[in-house]
Amino acid sequence: MESKRRQPLGIELVKRGIVTEQDIERALDYQKAEPKKKIGDILNILRVCDPYVLIDAIGEILEEKAIYLREADIKVNILDYISIDTARQYKAIPFEEANGRIKVCFADTSNRRAVETVRLLLLNKGLIMEKYITFETNIDLILNSFEGSSENIDITADVSGFIDSVIKTAMEKRASDIHIEPMQDNLRIRYRIDGVLVNAANVGKEKQAQIIGRLKAISNMHQEKQESQDGRIIMYPEYNIRVSSQKNIYGEKFVLRLLKKNENVRSIFDLGFPQDEQLVKNAFNKKNSITVVAAPTGEGKTTTLYSIIDYLNRPEINITTIEDPVEIRINGLNQIEVDPKITFVDSLRTVLRQDPDIILVGEIRDMETAEIAMQAGQTGHYVLSTIHTIDAIEVITRLRKMGVSNYDISSTLATSVSQRLVRRMCPYCARERDFTPEEKAIIEGIGAKYNVKFDLEGKKTFDAVGCKKCNNTGYLGRIGIFEVLLLNDEIKSLIVDNKPTVEIRKKALEEGYVPLVVDGVNKILEGITNLQELNNKLALY
């Protein structure tokens, strides 16, 4: 958004008290990566203040009429006035007509060519144009919604084309899984996006046999068998697709897990880990020990392991991973994939003879795996693995129940990390507002429980609204909330003495252990997620 003013837009906004100098610094940093984006749009994306207040202030500074344009504000059919290509090219949307005048929103009113072209097009239709300014993200969101039919699954295609359409649409929508489920009267197709299942299509029952037959064919499954089967689809170069079938009362259900090949490993901080370099060094730069990442299924444990490995990976270190399956290939690593004939235990025994420095074991599932992992950690190696528990401290209980001795746990377990994935607020449609008294009471109660003072002064939260960009959920992408237990001498002593986890937790809190819920509240106060989403994960109220 350019201007005829002498002062840059950011300075004018700071002078008016709309944003702070720190907000402008953040926006300028953002602009280095996105140089084509204007400061006003970036401030909106960063949600530094109420977007309605921001666009009104920008309009006043630029001496333009301004509106925070939403789909509900559009009172006309866009295509009655300009083509969709014109709307995209000039970032312009007609939204209201009355008495021979037509209101049109632009992302950049200083673009004289765009404004004049649209003005002449409308003048030829006998209409006088009134120009308004809005954010470019609002323009894009509305146009994407307007053209949304292009993303629909083609249910009229033949069976091969239909299955291809289902899979490719899932990839476009960032789905991690596809569920194809026989129901009483139809075949239901759902996508898991950001951890939540959303309906994608319902297909007539008459096509069920053909669709199941096609899925078995491309997954290399037995056509005649109706028991549970596992297979893989290798038709898509950028993805590994694991397929599982399970008979139910209405037929055979299929779940397709979409794993993107050669995906870049994200840094541990990008995943949401606390921005504390020293904590990372203390937690993961270990020898003669084990680090365990704990969480329920589907909460990003493997992704975190990859980030830790990437952080530790150096040419002078021999790193071997044992996985089921290998999800991301990383240069410099020796990656082993288990199968029914080669188990975690078998692979781990062999790996120990390969002179490793660091060993990643995909999961500690049983006593045998746990024992060998502990032995590896006690004999000069650093072992990374995952385990299914509700939090970092319950890792101790889980290992005890597997039969690992208190001595082995205390002498070998160095770090326990627990995590959950919460959905991020969609930047295109989230609605900012004040915290309610009830929400403040919940957050203050969490602070009181864990002796943490949360600064709620002047802080805002967001409601999930829903738009085309986020599949009408109000959330776009996920981020981790974390807790880290560093086992110091006091905690190790409690484990050796077979003290219950209640006492261990109390001591950990005294030593600076920050529970999941506290990290979650911090991310709420940063505007990344909201209390409703945190409650969905941790059942706060």
Put simply, whether the predicted model's pTM sits higher than 0.75 gets the answer: no
d(CA 341, CA 397): 30
Helix spans in 75-207 (H): 84-90, 112-123, 136-146, 159-172
Give 149-260's CATH code, choosing from 3.30.365.10, 3.30.70.640, 3.40.50.1820, 3.30.450.90: 3.30.450.90
Could you give the CA distance from residue 253 to residue 226 in angstroms, rounded to a whole number?
A: 10
Q: pLDDT tens for the chain, 541 residues: list them.
A: 444 445 789 899 999 999 999 999 988 988 887 788 899 999 988 888 889 999 999 999 999 999 999 887 888 888 788 877 788 889 999 999 998 999 999 999 999 999 999 999 899 889 999 999 999 988 987 876 554 433 456 666 788 889 999 999 999 899 999 999 999 988 999 999 999 888 888 888 999 999 999 999 999 999 888 889 999 999 998 898 999 999 999 999 999 999 888 777 889 999 999 989 999 999 997 788 999 999 998 899 999 999 999 899 888 999 999 888 787 778 888 998 887 777 778 888 888 888 999 999 989 989 999 998 999 999 889 999 999 999 999 999 999 999 999 999 999 999 999 999 999 999 988 889 999 999 999 999 999 999 999 999 989 999 888 887 887 788 999 999 999 999 999 999 999 999 999 999 999 999 999 999 999 999 999 999 999 899 989 988 7
Residue 144: the pLDDT is 66
Paired tokens of 290: 């084990």
Q: Are 507 and 494 in contact (CB under 8 A)?
A: yes
What's the pLDDT score for residue 152?
53
Tokens of 211: 């669709």
Non-local CB neighbours of 521 within 8 Å, separated by 6+ positions: 443, 446, 447, 454, 534
Long-range contacts of 197-200 (CB under 8 A, 24+ apart): 198/471, 198/473, 200/153, 200/166, 200/169, 200/170
Strands 431-434 and 413-425: unpaired
Q: What is the pLDDT of residue 2?
A: 45
Q: Which two tokens stand for residue 336?
A: 């082993």
Domain extent listing, the chain: 9-145, 149-260, 277-422+478-515
Nearest to 378 by CA among 255, 286, 288: 288
Structure tokens at 455: 């600064």
Report the pLDDT value the prediction gives residue 153, as an integer from 0 to 100: 66
What pLDDT shows up at residue 142? Answer: 81
CATH code: domain 9-145 is 3.30.300.160
| Superfamily of chain region 277-422+478-515 | P-loop containing nucleotide triphosphate hydrolases (3.40.50.300)
